[in-house]
Structure 1
Amino acid sequence: MYRPKVFISQWMPPIGVDMIRQYCDVDYYNGTTPLSKQDFISRAKEADALLIFMCDTIDGQIVQSIPNVRVISSFGKGYDNIDVTACTAQNILVTINPDALTDSTADIAIGLILSLARNILPSDSSIRSGKFNGWHATNFLGRDFHHSRLGIIGFGAIGQAIARRAKGFDTEICYYDVVRQTAAEQELGAVYKPLEELLNQSDFLVVAVNLQPDTIHLLSRNELQQVKPGSFLINISRGSIVDEQAVAEALDDGRLQGYAADVFEFEDRMVPQRPSYIPSSLLEMREKTVFTPHIGTGTIEARERLAVSSANQLLAALHGQIPSGAVNRVNPPKLLP
């Protein structure tokens, strides 16, 4: 019986690798540093299917160099690092994980909100400095999250999961999305608002939209001038949805009171003219910012869920089925019975 060839381009929890090995011959790069484009192509060109990661950039050149590949399964939910149009033209099915990372990403959004609003990082630094002398009436006064107005930009699975958690804080939940989510409005008591209204009425704003050409710098200088003075902005989706330099300016002039992010513009390799790193002006604002190194899915449980889901998506396609996470209209290859 024919065993399809699968190239796994980075480390993943063994449970997913073992699932694929039951049915396929696997070339597994068990490393955490991305391969060069040349090395990636060298290992991928003989494969029938790929399991790739966020730091792999699947551009048109790579697509043209892997003529045997019929399935690309992405270890994640976003697919802005994949040229889906080029894949479709070459009859390559692209699939993602629609649900495996939702809850963990929503958890870190709440963590960033609380860390930012309650000055947890500067408070921790103060303790460690040895200067803490006990309770003080004005030490690190923050802002309440409970009973505030939370604005969520993008009300898909992750945005709704954030809203469910925020309900426990008795927040007023508002959202903006290009598509009204009426069922979620009823379930969560969420109120739809146009983006401009959401910006100028929310105490806390969370960005939870996909990165697409029309969402690059969705929050730029113009939009940030419309936010409620003294509000907080949290980004857990993709860095390039926010203009980081404009964020630094809004923090400097006091329009924003704080900014927290788990994602950054420099990570988005498919975005033209992306910066080389996070602006120094943002990094220097230690009292007003909280940053984490893209760990929204950084739990043992989430990574194992992603490994299982990525394997299932890939194997479903190889069995000739359309995976639940398919993002383009390509007939699956049916290389497995």
Structure 2
Amino acid sequence: MKAILLGDAMIGGTGFQRAWEKHMGTYGSDIVVNDWEKDWGKLQYRRLEVEKRGPEIETVDETILKEGQDAQALMGLFVPVSSKVMEAMPKLRIVGVSRAGLENVNVEEATRRGILVFNVQGRNAHAVSDFAVGMMLAECRNIARAHYAIRSGEWRKTFTNSDVVPELHGRTVGLVGFGHIGRLVAKKLSGFDVKVVVYDPYTPAEAIKELGAEKVELEQLLKNSDFVSVHARLTSENKGMIGEHEISLMKPTAYFINTGRAGLVDQDALAKALGDKKIMGAALDVFYTEPLPADSPFMTLDNVTLTTHIAGTTADALSNSPFLLMEDVAKFLKEGDSRFIVNRQVLQDEGFQAWLASVRQ
């Protein structure tokens, strides 16, 4: 089969090429390799806009326009896969993105057209879960603020939370979302001897209990947790799920951690609660607009730790993800088995079945 491999500034096209050659080479050597967006700054802006507004806002990449008419596979990281892309690739049967998020793929349209979509679930789960625990400690123990103070010539010992600086031991941590990342956060926190409560309407209570945590409703979690850490996927149903009312339920000594998706939280309400000292602090890695604007209210607050959307960015997570993707697609083509198929209903599509039979022959 012919494939188009479009990397970007985060994972270059050559990374996808190496993964294709290792796992998919027997299915086709006719591959076109390029990068959708090579500029790091532009990539951060474009991918965030796609995350907020969907892939249909983007134009079709020039490589797809030039080479897409007879290509059957499209692989990448953040490349937008819109209905316009599918129109330009009439023989497209496989779409793969080496990330857990699907914001850059019009899955509904792909399903309608009989195109099978793959993602890579948990590719950066260890990276993000490590970071989330680190953010809890950095914020409540003033690690980043103390570092900044020393660099600024100040030996600072007094902070917003000086009277109530906590230890993790004996505290309650509430996890909003219990997928790959949430489960790893619970596992890694177990050594701190904390109580973990979970809000996740899609995970059975028994599965949560097996990892030493307790399933609760969101309101109960917010009222009782000393740390609230967000790990849910962003969907149309849960967008803005944590707003002014939800934040008002939190303890005045509680900390809010978001290494998930900015769209899950009303950021204006969060900034106001921090400014009014309604909650003790927050640690944030994701924002509506990135880079964070200079006039953001978060910039003036002394009880928030800010990072530049780097929770999932480790060398291991990035370099391995194209290989995980290609390995899974190859396994499906050979054995019919896969961990990462998104829209399994396509497997019943007659056109897809005919194509798959021809590939396997």
Normalised to the residue count of structure 1, the TM-score between the two structures is 0.86
2:5–2:75: 8 Å Cα contact kept in structure 1? yes
Other-structure match for 1:39: 61
1:154–1:175: 8 Å Cα contact kept in structure 2? yes
> What secondary structure sits across from 2:280 in the alignment?
strand
Of 125, 135, 140, the match for 1:117: 140
Other-structure match for 2:51: none
Of 76, 81, 86, the match for 2:109: 86
More helix by percentage:
2
Of 223, 232, 238, the match for 2:261: 238
> What secondary structure sits across from 1:256 in the alignment?
coil
Of 287, 290, 313, the match for 1:264: 287
Q: 1:203 to 1:8 in 2, by over 3 A?
A: same
Paired with 2:266 and 2:190, the residues of 1 have a C-alpha distance of: 29
Paired with 1:188 and 1:336, the residues of 2 have a C-alpha distance of: 40
Paired with 2:271 and 2:261, the residues of 1 have a C-alpha distance of: 17
Paired with 2:246 and 2:154, the residues of 1 have a C-alpha distance of: 40
Query: Where does the alignment leave 5 or more consecutive residues of structure 1 unmatched?
Result: 268-275
> What secondary structure sits across from 2:313 in the alignment?
coil
How far does the alpha carbon of each residue in 1:259-311 deviate from its partner, in whole angstroms, 9 at most, with x for none?
222222347xxxxxxxx956834431342222222222211111122121122
2:5–2:16: 8 Å Cα contact kept in structure 1? no
2:14–2:33: 8 Å Cα contact kept in structure 1? no
Paired with 1:29 and 1:113, the residues of 2 have a C-alpha distance of: 39
2:5–2:33: 8 Å Cα contact kept in structure 1? yes
Q: 1:138 to 1:120 in 2, by over 3 A?
A: closer
Paired with 1:184 and 1:20, the residues of 2 have a C-alpha distance of: 35
Mapping for residues 39-188 of structure 1, pairs under 5 Å = 39-40=61-62, 41-42=64-65, 45-46=68-69, 47-54=71-78, 56-132=79-155, 141=162, 142-188=165-211
Deviates more, 1:250-259 or 1:24-33: 24-33
Other-structure match for 1:327: 342
Other-structure match for 1:6: 4
Q: 1:39 to 1:281 in 2, by over 3 A?
A: closer
2:160–2:303: 8 Å Cα contact kept in structure 1? no
Please say if 1:26 is aligned against 2:24: no
How far does the alpha carbon of each residue in 1:63-121 deviate from its partner, in whole angstroms, 9 at most, with x for none?
33322211111111111222110110111111111232221111111111111111111
Paired with 1:251 and 1:107, the residues of 2 have a C-alpha distance of: 24
Query: Where does the alignment leave 5 or more consecutive residues of structure 2 unmatched?
Result: 47-57
Q: 1:238 to 1:139 in 2, by over 3 A?
A: closer
Q: 1:144 to 1:44 in 2, by over 3 A?
A: farther
Q: Which has the higher contact order (CA 8 A, sep 6+)?
A: 1
> What secondary structure sits across from 1:73 in the alignment?
strand
Residue 301 of structure 1 aligns with an amino acid whose one-letter code is D
Deviation (angstroms), 1:44: 6.2
Q: 1:49 to 1:222 in 2, by over 3 A?
A: same
Deviation (angstroms), 1:221: 1.6
Other-structure match for 2:310: 295
CA RMSD for the aligned pairs? 2.7
Other-structure match for 1:270: none
Residue 324 of structure 1 aligns with an amino acid whose one-letter code is R
| Percent of aligned pairs sharing the same letter | 25
2:232–2:260: 8 Å Cα contact kept in structure 1? yes
Paired with 1:264 and 1:84, the residues of 2 have a C-alpha distance of: 24
Paired with 1:259 and 1:177, the residues of 2 have a C-alpha distance of: 21
Residue 90 of structure 2 aligns with an amino acid whose one-letter code is P
> What secondary structure sits across from 1:37 in the alignment?
coil
Paired with 1:190 and 1:330, the residues of 2 have a C-alpha distance of: 36
Q: 1:282 to 1:139 in 2, by over 3 A?
A: closer
2:7–2:13: 8 Å Cα contact kept in structure 1? no
Please say if 1:215 is aligned against 2:238: yes
